[in-house]
Amino acid sequence: MSIFPPGPPGVFSYNYLIPSIRPTRAEIQAAANRTVPDVITPGLTLLFCGINPGLYTAAVQHHFARPGNRFWPALHLAGITPRLLDPSEERLLLEYGFGITNLAARATATAAELTREELAAGARILEEKVRRYQPGCLAVLGISAYRTAFARPEAQLGLQPETIGGRPVWVLPNPSGLNAHYRLEDLADLFRQARLAAETRRPEAGHG
């Protein structure tokens, strides 16, 4: 059974994911450089790390909220959430053992606006955060940002040979709707692999 509402064949509608109050164009533009609070607590099974908040996300103050972003549908298809969550329900993720943070805190219209120095600084902060909160695994969403932030230009998608903060790291594709290289089903499959790997080592969390 499809999790999506009826629509033209092969066309997914994300309108039902949009928060009930849409930000205006002016509010979206005014959200530049704002931050969005992490969804995090100690001992998570898996901590997702985005690149940085987009303007729409910063305007509504909920992660991956821009219409068309496939993060929340991919979570559901991957078995991470029992139903499709609206971005405004993000804190329910904590009940399921998952959380969200970002490499860079400030919101921009595109991730390309971030400097190499910002990403490198974000990598150091992320490592400290992982050591503090001790998730079972970390999943970074965006291969290019990961390569730049951690100075690992040869990194590929999937489980990394290195750890961050003493925890295993998966690099997954950016779920933005602008990333045409991956279909939703492909994203969900990769998210599922990371989930299963994290759940396998979950009993070790807190002993690293």
Identity at 160, one-letter amino acid code: Q
CATH entry 3.40.470.10 includes domain 36-203: yes
User: Rounded CA gap, 42 and 22, in Å?
Assistant: 32
Reported as type and span, the H/E element at residue 119 is helix 116-133
Identity at 74, one-letter amino acid code: A
pTM, to two decimals: 0.88
User: Rounded CA gap, 164 and 30, in Å?
Assistant: 34
Query: In the chain, what are the domain boundaries?
Result: 36-203
Q: How far is CA 191 from CA 3, 102, 154, in A?
A: 17, 17, 21
Tens of each residue's pLDDT in the chain, 208 residues: 334 333 333 333 344 444 447 999 999 999 999 999 999 999 999 999 999 999 999 999 999 999 999 999 999 999 999 999 999 999 999 999 999 999 999 999 999 999 999 999 999 999 999 999 999 999 999 999 999 999 999 999 999 999 999 999 999 999 998 887 899 999 999 999 999 999 987 644 443 3
